Amino acid sequence: MSSLRELAREELDGIAERSLSRRIVQTERLAGAIVKRDGREYVSFSCNDYFGLTHHPEVIAAARSALDRCGAGAAASRLVTGNHPIYAELESLLAEMKGAERALVFSSGYAANLGVIPVLVGKEDLILADRLCHACAWDGARLSGASILRFHHNDVDHCRSVLEAQRSKYRRCLILTETVFSMDGDRGPVAALAELARAHDAWLMTDDAHGLGLPGVGDTGADLGMGTLSKGLGACGGYVHGPAEVIEWLANRARSLVFSTGLPPAAVAAAAASLRIIRNDEELRRRPAENARRFTDALGRAPAESPIVPVIVGEPDRAMAASAMLQENGLLAAAIRPPTVPSGTARLRFAFSALHQPEPIERAAALLKEHGYA
């Protein structure tokens, strides 16, 4: 135990020297994009609750009803205990929103990628991924045993050149991208990559974790799509959607589904309620990106493509200082540092919600400009 403790201390000291320490801070999330820390309330730009549905009364009521009727947990894997009807409702809503034949819910988006990718490809196959794909895509790719190559971020021509040089050497090929990239907020070229995949006998799989429900964002043309229930839907869990036969195959083979206890019924019911809300409220769906564009306009930048806006400041200590400055002024924006983002691109990541009001958005932009961070 003493050697383990010493190793941990050495590792922590090294992390701290590079300004890369992370800690979990007790934070109470309140309604209206407000959080509470150490007795003080802040406007938070760090939450991925894009439509503000975590505290929506219909979502809370659905979760409470499921909790009362079904209890606190799922008790075992869905393949063991059976599938509660709430799951069927949520998967039907997801498939409908995505224009897919079927959807399958996992315990998280991370679990979806860990489970799905190794089913699709293996040691004789190739994975070609955008270099900025999320960590869970890379982890799923590594678990598959397939050969892994990267293409330049959002660069369809580079993806094409790699395919032309490498595709014939492998049995199957899977291309990975995102509809909205989590740290830069830009959109992936889904349609162009889908066409490229078809031309090279490859499959395209998209990560829609940060795009679900946003107008103009989608994964039409992709062979498979995955995402999360914990961001725009304000609940918990993940999913994959696609052709019925493929989803049935995944239900039989995806280890992170087969060997995991199902989501609590309350979380499933909350996600279903959120889907019904955003399906019927176009104005709500527009508002997060509109708030992001208010911010980029105030900074004098090109209009935001999504609710995510990075303010890149360079080094980790500078990102921490910028975050601390905003916190002193009642605003929270997370400092994102390597290895989450490449070296030299530490940043503040602003995630805009439908609930954000104009005043704190414009105040955040003014403070960043005043202190030389924008």
Question: Active-site positions?
Answer: 48, 134, 178, 182, 207, 210, 231
Token representation of residue 186: 């830009």
Token representation of residue 325: 């400055």
Contacts of 122 (CB under 8 A, 6+ apart): 144, 145, 146
CA distance 281 to 335: 32
CA distance 17 to 316: 11
DSSP string, 6-17: HHHHHHHHHHHH
Strand order in the sheet with 34-37: 28-29, 34-37, 40-44, 331-332
CA distance 73 to 301: 46
Would you say 362 and 305 are in contact if contact means Cβ atoms under 8 Å apart?
no
Q: In whole angstroms, how far apart are CA 21 and each of 15, 136, 322?
A: 5, 21, 16
